Amino acid sequence: MSSETEAPTTEDSTEPSVVLPRRRRDIFSDKSSSVLGIVGESLITIGAIVLLFLVWQLYINNAVLANEQASITKDQALAWATVSPSPVASGTTAQTDFGPPPIVAPVKEGGQFAILYIPRLGPDSQRAVRNGVDPVSVLNHGYYGRYPDTQWPGEPGNFAVAIHRTGWGSSFADAPKLQVGDKIYLETAHGYYTYTFRNYEFVLPTAVNVVLPVPGSEAPVGDQMLITITTCNPLLGDAERLITYGVFDSWRPRSSGAPPAIAAIVNKEAN
């Protein structure tokens, strides 16, 4: 017998595979792709949020607040008509000179005292006027807001108000369409104050002297009565201010009816 033994054979065995380390460049490339993916998704999400906000602010919220203003001005017109009814044939009175206008009595901060009409901006452009320019309670609800320490309608000097250019129920987006000679009407419990549009001015937000009794000047007031409307510019920005100036033209008491240019709108609101 042979004492030799056969060595076992491993015909099916294979060599173990060798795993090579990944190159650092590949690792960094994967990490960069992951980071860029996250950043890209974040930017898309932010863009969608901004777009939704613009749609809400410029269209939905604007329409809601515009409707709110329509209801407010109608209620105000009805209240005045109940206390002091205007003639049925409003705006037909031949008399045009009713003498000096009465000065509107001051109201408390946030108090409502007038409705402002600008026919050039459309038949639904009327908005109520409150005392004060608080963004939350006044401007962000579509009101015109009277600047503190400026004059009241009928008082010599500058009756200055602010309004948002767009959004927030504002009707002032098309302000640049105003033409020299266009009328601006202010309805109060006394009657109707008519101003004639004079000019525009573009100023920096720091130019607060536009609401002085004589805009941009320390000159004596005299007997001139102005209306100044300030708003933001450009349309979707606030880098500067668009200033609209009007000069007092005339007034008429409620007993003589509304001026012909707005008689149909006023009668519709008061009924």
Domains of the chain from N-terminus onward: 62-84+105-270 (2.40.260.10)
User: Residue 168: its pLDDT value, please?
Assistant: 85
CA distance 155 to 152: 5
CA distance 31 to 24: 11
Nearest of 231, 262, 258 to residue 80 by alpha carbon: 258
Mean pLDDT of 207-225: 95
Mean pLDDT of 136-165: 96
Neighbours of 57 (CB within 10 A): 14
Residues serving a catalytic function are 164, 232
pTM, 2 dp: 0.78
* DSSP strands (E only) in 83-218: 112-117, 127-131, 144-146, 157-162, 183-187, 191-203
To the nearest whole number, what is the mean pLDDT of the chain?
85
| Secondary structure (3-state) at 74 | helix
Name the region of 154 (left: φ>0; alpha: ψ -120 to 50; beta: rest). left
Mean pLDDT of 231-235: 93
Nearest of 94, 173, 158 to residue 127 by alpha carbon: 173
- 95 vs 41, more confident: 41
Residue 79 carries which DSSP code? H
